[in-house]
Amino acid sequence: MAAAARPVSPAASLMSGGGPVARIQVSVNGQMYTAEVEPRTLLVYFLREVLGLTGTHVGCDTTNCGACTVHLDGKPVKSCTVLAVQANGRQVRTVEGLEVGGKLSAVQQSFYEEHGLQCGFCTPGMMMTATALLERNPNPSEAEIRDAIRGNLCRCTGYVNIVKAIKAAGKKMQAPPAGGSA
């Protein structure tokens, strides 16, 4: 559901010291945005600094940790290793897009219920990967879950409750829809 193309504030073009810029149009969480960015602007910084969506985090500089995971045309990717210009004309979904109409997604609800987070820093990326997994396969085995999140590092939880949360979310997603939210 795209709203009308919506220019971002002029500050958006102050990404960096005056190099050549490219004009991009990106749909983020169903909302269309237009902005001017340098080609070297990483997608994660476009989301965080230009669009103010700070839920996606930066945890490393070598494409290892997955804290920056978002969906690009439905597939989970590490947004620190994608140029914003590569997202031109494409659809991005971030953690802020998981809650719809005031209702938490099954993944969000389950992370909460299963204590699948502690400091919360890896959590958005982890949930985006989990969401993509469960949208393809709502009944993964424990081994499949652990393999699916192997690109998302967590230092706090030891993964036990993250795995439980993802399993529980899958069950919710298989069940017929019911009401209620957190």
Partner 1 sequence: MSADATPHVKGGLGQSILRKEDARFIRGKGNYVDDVKLPGMLYLDITRSPYAHAKITAIRTDKALKVPGVLAVITGKDLEAAGLAWMPTLMSDKQMVLPVDTVMYQAQEVAAVVADSRYAAADGAAAVEVDYEPLPVVVDPFKALEPNAPVIRTDRAEKSNHIWHWETGDKSGTDAALGGSAVTVSQDLYIPRIHVSSMETCGCIAHMDSVSGRFTIWMTTQAPHAIRTVFALVTGLPEQNIRVISPDIGGGFGGKVPVYPGYVIASVASIKTGHPVKWIEDRSENLQADSFARDYHIHAEVGATADGTVTALRVKTLADHGYTDAAANPSKFPAGLFHIITGSYPFAKAFVEVDAAYTNKPPGGIAYRCSFRVTEAVYTIERMMDILAHKLNVDPAELRLKNFIPPEAFPYKSALGWTYDSGNYAGALRKAMEIIDYAGLRREQAEKRARGELMGIGISSFTEIVGAGPSQTFDILGIKMFDSAEVRIHPTGKVIARFGTKSQGQGHETTYAQILAEELGIPADDIRVEEGDTDTAPYGLGTYASRSTPTAGAAASMAARKIREKAQKIAAHLLEVSPDDVEWKDYAFHVKGVPGKSKTMQEVAFAAYTNHPKGVEAGLEAVDYYDPPNMTYPFGSYICVVDIDKETGQVKVRRFVAVDDCGTIINPMIVDGQIHGGLTMGFAPALLEEIQYDADGNIHGGTFMDYLVPTAVETPNWETAKTVTPSPHHPIGAKGVGESATVGAPPAIVNAIVDALRPYGIEHIDIPVHPWKVWQVLHGGEKPG
Partner 2 sequence: MFPPQFEYYAPNSVDDAVALLSRFNGEAKVLAGGHSLIPLMKLRLAAPSVLVDINRIPGLAYLREEGNHLKIGATTRTGELLESALLRKSYPILTDAAQEIADPLVRNLGTVGGNVCHGDPGNDLPACMIALGAEMSLHGPNGHRTVPAAQFYKDTFVTAVEPTEMLVEVRIPKPVARQGSAYHKIEKRVGDFAMAGAGVSLVLTEAGAVSHASIGLTGLGPTAIHAAKASASLVGQPADEAHLQQAAMLAQAEAQPSTDLRGPAEYKRAMAGVLTHRVLVRAVARAKGGA
Under the rule (CB under 8 A), what is the footprint of partner 2? 16, 19-20, 22, 38-40, 42, 58, 61-64, 66, 69, 72, 75-78, 80-83, 85-86, 129, 147-148, 150-152
**Least Å from the CB of residue 39 to partner 2:** 3
Of 42, 30, 109, residue with least CA distance to 74: 30
| Contact of 127 with 121, CB cutoff 8 Å | no
What letter does residue 49 receive in the DSSP assignment?
I
CA–CA gap between residue 157 and residue 38 (Å, rounded): 37
| Contact of 50 with 85, CB cutoff 8 Å | no
Of 156, 96, 101, residue with least CA distance to 131: 96
**Least Å from the CB of residue 180 to partner 2:** 31
**Least Å from the CB of residue 109 to partner 1:** 8
- Contact positions toward partner 1, by CB under 8 A? 14-19, 38, 40-41, 45, 48-49, 52-62, 64-65, 67, 94-96, 98-99, 104, 108, 111-113, 115, 117-124, 127, 142, 145-147, 149-163, 182
What letter does residue 119 receive in the DSSP assignment?
S
Strand bridging mode 69-72 / 91-93? antiparallel
Q: Which is nearer to partner 1, 53 or 92 (CB)?
A: 53
Q: Which is nearer to partner 1, 5 or 119 (CB)?
A: 119
% helix / strand / coil in the chain, to the nearest 5? Answer: 35, 15, 45
List the single partner that 162 binds among partner 2, partner 1, none, CB under 5 to 8 Å by kind.
partner 1
**Least Å from the CB of residue 117 to partner 1:** 6
